[in-house]
Amino acid sequence: MLKVLSRTAEPTEGYAEIYGRIGSLLVVGTGFSTELTGRENIYLNAAILGMMRQEIDQKFDEIVAFAEVEKFLDTPIKRYSSGMHLRLAFAIAAHLDPDILLVDEVLAVGDAQFQKKCLGKMGDAAKGGRTALLVSHQMGTTAKLCNRVLHLSKGKIVEEGNTQDVINHYMTQALSNFNHVYTSKESPGKEISFVNIQALNLDGEPSSHFAHNEQIIISIHCRMNQWVRDTWIGFDIKDQRGRKVFTNNNDKWADFDSNSKEIRTTVTIPANILVPGQYFLTFIVSIEHIRFVDLAEDAIGINVIDSGSVFAAYDGYDYGCVFVECQWTIDDIS
């Protein structure tokens, strides 16, 4: 779709009406010549994107400062790291000052600081009366940047409207396709593999729905094909906006008998921590700072409901990310 809108691909049928100058960042570094220096590629790529020589001269210093490649400006970009390549490509596209900026999920390869800078630049474009069209599966980024969302599936518009409403419906649908029980086939190539993961209530029964003031017990069954020292097991929880709520791990997990073939681990999420909403849990067995042994991404989904908190009476109340029990004191100082 983005290629059709940016005029680099012809639609098989139908047409797109575009009003204004388009800048697109779909494939990082398209039009770059690896033999040319960073300086030369700024002029080459900016010209390909439609900027005039005088316009490039005026914005040259801003582009270089944004990309943070001053020291390597006269170095051939074949010697640039992928991160430097990305920063330079986005800096050029962002300073095109288009009426419409088309952006794919290319920012996923940048570091956190650069992503923040890019999102700020896109936000400035939107606030300045221009259109920023972002395609993303990252709900946190979408919620922060967009004031209107289209949910597309298999070439069809599923929903269009307010950002948070569409995100909530999308995540609810995604959760409905998730089980509260995860099972995996045998993985002979892995030393340790997840076999079964499930969320249990206090009666030890598998469940996908929990009250906010109820403990959630996670049962994790692993197969030990080969004992690996210094491993730890952990999990993280993301909310329906794609935000990571918290991460937890156990680095003493590998103290089990090295002859064990099957291991069952349980971890309990305390009551009154998770606010009402939908959550996805990802599980990891890892050798710290070295590699993942096994990863079960978004393995199970759970739904936390308000069972009578003081906020339940307020329709549409934003609970935030977590419940926190703070200690209050009141002193009469009169």
> What pLDDT score was predicted for residue 269?
95
Pair of tokens at residue 107? 């920012």
Determine the Cα–Cα distance for residues 331 and 326; give it in Å rounded to an integer. 17
Above 90 in pLDDT, residue 217?
yes
> What pLDDT score was predicted for residue 270?
94
User: What digits encode the pLDDT tens for the residues 161-215?
Assistant: 988 788 777 776 766 666 678 888 766 678 888 999 999 999 999 888 888 889 9
41 touches 88 (CB < 8 A): yes
> What pLDDT score was predicted for residue 92?
85
Determine the Cα–Cα distance for residues 169 and 150; give it in Å rounded to an integer. 12
Rg of the chain taking only CA atoms, in angstroms = 25
Residue range 230-249: average pLDDT?
89
Nearest to 179 by CA among 203, 163, 196, 157: 196
Determine the Cα–Cα distance for residues 270 and 98; give it in Å rounded to an integer. 50
User: What digits encode the pLDDT tens for the residues 59-113?
Assistant: 999 999 988 889 999 999 989 887 788 788 888 877 877 788 888 765 655 566 7
**Which value, to the nearest 10 degrees, does the dihedral of the CA atoms of residues 202, 203, 206, 207 take?**
-60
Containing H/E element for 57? helix 53-67
pTM score:
0.56
In sequence order, the 6+-apart residues with CB closer than 8 A to the CB of 109 are 28, 82, 83, 86
> For the chain, which domains are there?
2-135 (3.40.50.300), 181-305 (2.70.50.60)
> What pLDDT score was predicted for residue 140?
64
